[in-house]
Amino acid sequence: METTLIILKPDAVQRGLMGKIITRFEEKGLQIVGVKMMQISPELAATHYQDHKGKPFYDGLVGFMTSAPVLVLAIKGVGAIAICRKMMGATFGSNADSGTIRGDFGVSNSFNLIHGSDSPEAAKREFGLFFSEGGVLDYERKIESWVYDMSGGDPE
């Protein structure tokens, strides 16, 4: 099991897509273990996107991410990082396949609806930025044996 950080960006929130996007993750069988609606500060955006500092799109990205509230999620499951990234689709909505979040809801190359951690290391760093201690829960779901084959003891 791994946990990934997902941010429903200002465009997803403003367009009223939060429920539809969360539903996709839940219907896939992933577990929501943390939720936080917030307004990202310029300082937090700068820290979160520090790897992009100096790139031509950086200022616009920080401005966009601080322009309206976002919904931050912690999502848990076997292979959650790769699964969520596949569900998100290509970075640009205009290039994303139908059936993905960006492919179904986006056309813009600037407003791409959703962020997802790209590695376990990134997820750990991002959780430290967006959730305080106790903000991500570890709880048992009664449906786990219907989501994963547990016959070998471990979910697969």
Residue-averaged pLDDT of the chain = 95
Q: Which domain holds residue 83?
A: 2-132
Alpha helices by DSSP H, 8-88: 10-14, 18-28, 42-48, 58-65, 80-88
Is 120 part of any domain? yes
Active site includes 48?
no
Is 156 part of any domain? no
When divided into structural domains, the chain yields a total of 1
Which one from 25, 62, 115, 116 is the annotated catalytic residue? 115
pLDDT at residue number 131: 96
pLDDT at residue number 48: 95
Could you report the per-residue pLDDT of 103-147, keeping only the tens digit for each? Answer: 999 998 889 999 999 999 999 999 999 999 999 999 999 899 899
Is 108 part of any domain? yes
Could you tell me which of 15, 33, 14 has the C-alpha nearest to residue 25? 33
Predicted TM-score (pTM) of the model is 0.94
Residue pair 7/113 in contact by the 8 Å Cβ criterion: no
Is 9 part of any domain? yes
pLDDT at residue number 27: 97
With a cut of 70, list the residues of the chain below it in pLDDT. Answer: none
Is 149 part of any domain? no
Is 31 part of any domain? yes
